[in-house]
Structure 1
Amino acid sequence: MLLTTSVGSLPKPDYLTKARTQVRKGELSARELRALEEQATREWIRTQEELDIDIIVDGEQYRGDMVAYFAEYFSGFKTSELVRSYGNRYYRKPIIMGKVGRRKPVTIEWWKFAQGLTTRPVKGMLTGPYTIMDWSFNEYYPSRRATALAIAKVVREEAKDLERAGAQYIQIDEPAIST
């Protein structure tokens, strides 16, 4: 049997994109944003069930950027000003300023929320250590290897927590490996 799933990140509805802008302008609270992120997650899970997808993803509706999201929760990082990534797309590139660590689990709460919406397995979604390293400025570690290994330890802790929480499938995304 061939099981079906998706890569993980699904398009964000317009109302969520607008809400993020409103939060930055102080026009919407973090609590109101969270409610909209939950709404978008519910919609995507329902859509995947309607499409008869076997292994569901939460759609990462709560993540603005796959690297900056983790850097926001990991210790040792700070965020830069906006940096152009390509074309007219900009993001806040993380800067590694100290020893990388985890203050608390990053993805467990959202994984549990999504898993609570379906009887199908929900895949845990992590950004890989190489991508986090490659898409960040390093101001702390002596080499790319040391940086990647330090981040790998933290990503491994997160994967173990997902496994303990009950995730049957865990995907680690490494798009930077091919660039």
Structure 2
Amino acid sequence: MSFIDQLKQRRTIYAIGKNVQQSPEQLNELIHTAIKYAPSSFNSQSSRAVTLFGESHTNFWEIVRETLRKLVPPEAFASTDNKINSFSAGFATVLFYEDQSVITGLQEQFPAYAENFPIWSEHSTAMAQLAVWTALSEIHVGASLQHYNPIIDAEVAQTFEIPATWKLRAQLVLGSIEAPAGEKTFIDDTIRFKTFA
């Protein structure tokens, strides 16, 4: 499968389950390799990942649920609860972090670019997320990218012993594909692209 075909195949899969064919060890190896080979500015390698399986995966989504319970009006919580149930039904969750000590170090080393390093860090984590998501799709593991940070950051950091310099950027929940993604639509190319010769 070509890289372009892999990109086309990668979709947001909400209906996921625990029936994956790969072991946690195999998935961990794939996740780690994808992140290691994802590009980063100045080869900073600022991206960090925490992969949660089993009880840790379930506990993470309970943290999200209980955090949201305090913020969402009771009459509107049922839909939120159902959404968290769908994530908890998955096989694992990857927490994507960026190590702020790396960014600070680069700012000190290259002061002329200091204001850009936080931006470039966001680029790095985005590329790491896409690399992992696409690699999972290639082995027919479904996933969806979630962003419950920063409201969950402190409790997650305490629960999973996350270093203080790591900043949570996204959560990728993954599992077996229990129902396909819906049709993907696109805006007209003329709106998005310009070409000059």
Give the alignment's TM-score, normalised by structure 2: 0.26
Report which of the two structures shows the higher radius of gyration computed on alpha carbons.
Answer: 2
With CA pairs under 8 Å and 6+ residues apart, which has the higher RCO, 1 or 2?
2
Structure showing the higher helix proportion among its residues? 2
